[in-house]
Each structure stands twice: as structure tokens, then as C-alpha cells.
Amino acid sequence: MLPGRKAYWGSLELHTFHDASAVVSALSPDEPVILNRPHAAARAACFFAEKFPGKSLYAVKANPSPDLLRVLWASGVTHYDVASIAEVRLVRSVLPEAVLCFMHPVKARAAIAEAYKVHGVRVFSLDSHEELAKIVDATDAATDLSLCVRLRVSSEFSELSLASKFGVDLADAAPLLQATRQVADALGICFHVGSQAMTPFAYVQALERVRAAVVDAAVTVDIVDVGGGFPSIYPGMEPPPLEDYFGAIHRAAESLPVSYSSELWCEPGRALCAEYNSLIVKVEKTRGDELYINDGAYGALYDAAHVGWRFPVQCLTAGRSETLTGYSFYGPTCDDADYMEGPFMLPADIKAGDYIEIGMLGAYGAAMKTAFNGFGQASAIEVDDEPMASQYRGDRRDPRQSDNVVSLR
Ligand SMILES: *Cc1c(COP(=O)(O)O)cnc(C)c1O
């Protein structure tokens, strides 16, 4: 980027445009532009703070943008689920007062020691006796630890599985819970039902497994952490309202045989940040129902390429046909894998040079783009319009009529 250009972009940081169309009119950007919607992230955070029947930890890996972290903090999110020492340092530097919970069940000894001794981390997760020994050793047998045993649960109701990598099997959980109880100040049980869980039953079923584990181990449990997985809205994926999830979790957790003063936690990543970002891309070439655009698999569209995730889209160029066609996208790099199958519903007569806004990219999207291409914060622009879909605005519309959220299932 030319120095002059950089200064130009830098000066835009303070400028808020209304929406993507205003950005395109003013800048005709040749590079992709990330749009930030702080109001949408703040609304999501307030929703969890008010309605989740317990404490909400933001899962930082979903989007570690410092601007977003500050928005969530200002909206009442005090606890952060961090998964690497880099995330520990980042959140500690941006939010000095935040409570950090190191919820990756496999950590380096040095990471545990630094987290505990330098950054004041007291909450750790684990799923093996080796990790428990490592935590005890790295913290010099600290007596003020909250230790959460990660239980393996089913991912069958989620779009992205997190079932195979982490978690102790129910059959092996009792000895680990008992050993952890011996050294923990507070004992927790955590799990993750997989990302984008499409039914509250995923949590009910997982909490049944928690019940079996607690009964089996006959230990006092102080924290029940239902993890992440709370869904957002995407084309073909219209989940029930989050209140249904919270109600089902509340009822199932209330009936668990745990300490009456026990705490209920959750670790939303996607649900807190999906609505925070969208992306403006430019069409460089068309070939039938394939569009060559300037962002892709190595940018913000990782999930669109690798797991065929579909995102809502709209054409930002005026005067195009109302008739929509289902397109697939090619990204800017030279390999065939830089391909997003879609279908993405856009005007049948879209042309090279047109602009597209791709919505709902705040979770596992915009953050990856920034990191991979050095497309830093200076090039993100704030807008104040509504995200293309929302779990939080209280007017859930028919997905087939709005937001370009089309259901092909
Ligand atoms: C990724 C992750 C989360 C967040 O999951 P979402 O599906 O984005 O809500 C929460 N907890 C842990 C331990 C994770 O690894």
C-alpha cells in the first residue's frame, strides 16, 4: 500500500458511514473493506448479560479484535475465554480488569505458568490427568484455582463439530473429577456441543451427561459451564430464538445434583460477534454463474470455502435486475481451492466492477482476514446500519422474505 494511501485510510478511522453503499460511493475501494457494527455487538452482549441465567464468558478466538473487546467490556462482558497465551496477553493488555479463563484443555507448561503468575489467571480447563499434573506443577500447587473438567459430548446437533478433539469420555470422567476435586478450590464441568448448535436439545442432552458424570464421581461441583455453540442466522440456518436455549439450559441445570451455590457459565463466541462485521468485495470477473471476487478462502471467507458455509449477500451497485441467480465465488489467489460454492443469491445481470456486501462475517471471518493479509484495523470502517440478520433486534423476519437468507434445505 502506498504511504499516501495508508494515511488516507487512516484518516477514515474516525469517520462513520451509514452503510456499505455509502462506503462504496465515497471510496470505490479496490481492496476488500471490513465493516464494523459496534452497536450490534453491544446489543448481543447486553442480551446475554440480561437473559442468560448465569455468567457469559466471551470466547475470544471467534474474533479477537481489540475494538470488539472494548465494545463487549463496555456492554457488561467481564469474563473472557482465552485459549492461547497470545490471547491471554492480548485481552490482559486491552482490558486490564477482565477475568480471564484459560479454557483450552491442552496447554504448554510455560503458558500456564505465565497466565497464573503474570496475568492473574485462576480458571483453567483440562481433560486428562497429565494436564491436571501440569497445572498443579506450573502454578506451584496453587490453592486458589478453579479447574473445569471438559467432558466429551455429542456434536450431532451442530454445524461444526468439536466432539473428536477434546473432552474426557464419560466412562473415564469419575477418577479425573475426583483427582481434580482434591486440588481445586472450585471444581467445574465444561463441554462444547459444537459451533452453531441448531437446537436447544444439544445442551439438554449434554447436561444429562454432566448429571451422569457428577453422580458417578460423587463430587461437589461448583461450576457448570455449557460452553459455546449458540447460533447466529445464516442462509439455510434459521435457529430457534436464543431465549429457547437459555430456558432449556436453565431448566436442565437447575435439576443437576450440584452445590446449591454453584454457578452456571456459558462461553459464546459466534453469538456475540457474528453480527459485528460484514465485508465489501468487488467483482473482478464473471464466468456464467461464477464470480471472481477480491477476497476468499485465505481471507474472511474461510468457512465459506472450507465447510461450504453460506453467508447473506447483497449487490451494492444500483440498477441491477431484481431477478436473482445462485452464484459461486472464486477468491483472488491462484489456486482452485480458493472457491466458495455458495449458492450466493445475487442479481442475474451482475457485472465486473460491481460491489457486493457479504454479511454476518464477524465470527471466524473478519478476524482471519485481518490476521492473514495484514489488512489491519485502519482499513476497517464503522457503519451504523443493521446487520443483514439479527438474533437480537426482536423482529425476526421470515428468512425467505428478507436478508437474502434463502433456505434451500
Ligand atoms: C470455540 C470455543 C467457544 C466458542 O464457540 P462458539 O461456537 O463460537 O460459540 C467456546 N468455548 C471453547 C472452549 C471453544 O473452543
Task: Output the DSSP codes for 122-166.
Answer: -EEEESSHHHHHHHHHHTTS-SS-EEEEEBP---TTEEE--TTTS
State whether CATH 2.40.37.10 applies to domain 5-37+276-383: yes
Q: Which is the CATH superfamily of the domain at 39-273?
A: Alanine racemase (3.20.20.10)
For residue 271, which atom of ligand 1 is closest to its CA? 9
Closest residue by Cα to atom 3, ligand 1, is 228
Q: What's the pLDDT at 2?
A: 36
According to DSSP, the residues that pair with 34 across neighbouring strands are 279, 380
Cα-to-centroid distance, 150 and ligand 1 (Å)? 12
Q: What's the pLDDT at 394?
A: 73
Q: What's the pLDDT at 161?
A: 82
Query: Which residues make Cβ contacts (< 8 Å) with residue 20, sequence separation at least 6?
Result: 35, 278, 280, 314, 316, 355, 357, 383, 385
What is the bridge-based pairing of β-strands 263-266 and 55-59? parallel
Cα-to-centroid distance, 305 and ligand 1 (Å)? 20
Q: What's the pLDDT at 280?
A: 96
For 167-195, the pLDDT digits (tens) are 999 999 999 999 999 999 999 999 999 99
Cα-to-centroid distance, 196 and ligand 1 (Å)? 10
> Which of the listed residues 160, 164, 195, 203 should we mutate to test ligand 1's pocket, taking the one with most ligand atoms within 8 A of CB?
195
For residue 270, which atom of ligand 1 is closest to its CA? 8
Q: What's the pLDDT at 228?
A: 97
> Which of the listed residues 77, 79, 80, 81 should we mutate to test ligand 1's pocket, taking the one with most ligand atoms within 8 A of CB?
81
Q: How far apart are CA 313 and CA 347, in angstroms?
A: 10
Q: What's the pLDDT at 13?
A: 52
Q: How far apart are CA 303 and CA 309, in angstroms?
A: 5
Report the pocket of ligand 1 as residue ranges, CB < 6 Å.
59, 61-62, 81, 83, 103, 192, 195, 227-230, 267-271, 363
What is the bridge-based pairing of β-strands 277-287 and 33-36? antiparallel
Cα-to-centroid distance, 173 and ligand 1 (Å)? 21
Cα-to-centroid distance, 83 and ligand 1 (Å)? 10
Cα-to-centroid distance, 290 and ligand 1 (Å)? 33
Cα-to-centroid distance, 163 and ligand 1 (Å)? 12
Closest residue by Cα to atom 5, ligand 1, is 228
For residue 150, which atom of ligand 1 is closest to its CA? 13
Q: What's the pLDDT at 146?
A: 98
Closest residue by Cα to atom 13, ligand 1, is 103
Is the full-model pTM beyond 0.85?
yes
C-alpha closest to that of 1 among 406, 375, 402, 284:
375
**Secondary element (H or E) of residue 287:** strand 277-287
For residue 125, which atom of ligand 1 is closest to its CA? 13
Cα-to-centroid distance, 201 and ligand 1 (Å)? 18
**Secondary element (H or E) of residue 94:** helix 85-94
Q: What's the pLDDT at 367?
A: 77
Cα-to-centroid distance, 330 and ligand 1 (Å)? 29
C-alpha closest to that of 211 among 226, 200, 197:
226
> Which of the listed residues 148, 165, 246, 267 should we mutate to test ligand 1's pocket, taking the one with most ligand atoms within 8 A of CB?
267
C-alpha closest to that of 22 among 33, 11, 7, 6:
33
Q: What's the pLDDT at 395?
A: 60
Cα-to-centroid distance, 189 and ligand 1 (Å)? 15
Cα-to-centroid distance, 312 and ligand 1 (Å)? 22
What is the bridge-based pairing of β-strands 324-330 and 290-293? parallel
Closest residue by Cα to atom 15, ligand 1, is 104
In tens digits, what is the pLDDT along the chain, a chain of 409 residues?
333 334 444 445 557 899 999 999 999 999 999 999 999 999 999 999 999 999 999 999 999 999 999 999 999 999 999 999 999 999 999 999 999 999 999 999 999 999 999 999 999 999 999 999 999 999 999 999 999 999 999 988 888 887 778 999 999 999 999 999 999 999 999 999 999 999 999 999 999 999 999 999 999 999 999 999 999 999 999 999 999 999 999 999 999 999 889 999 999 999 999 999 999 999 999 999 999 999 998 889 999 999 899 999 999 999 999 999 999 999 998 888 899 999 999 999 999 999 999 999 999 998 776 444 444 344 789 999 999 999 998 765 544 444 444 333 2
For 201-249, the pLDDT digits (tens) are 999 999 999 999 999 999 999 999 999 999 999 999 999 999 999 999 9
For residue 104, which atom of ligand 1 is closest to its CA? 13
For residue 364, which atom of ligand 1 is closest to its CA? 8
Query: What HEC string does 214-254 produce?
Result: HHHHCCCCCEEECCCCCCCCECCECCCCHHHHHHHHHHHHH
| Domain chopping of the chain, boundaries | 5-37+276-383, 39-273
> Which of the listed residues 61, 72, 273, 276 should we mutate to test ligand 1's pocket, taking the one with most ligand atoms within 8 A of CB?
61
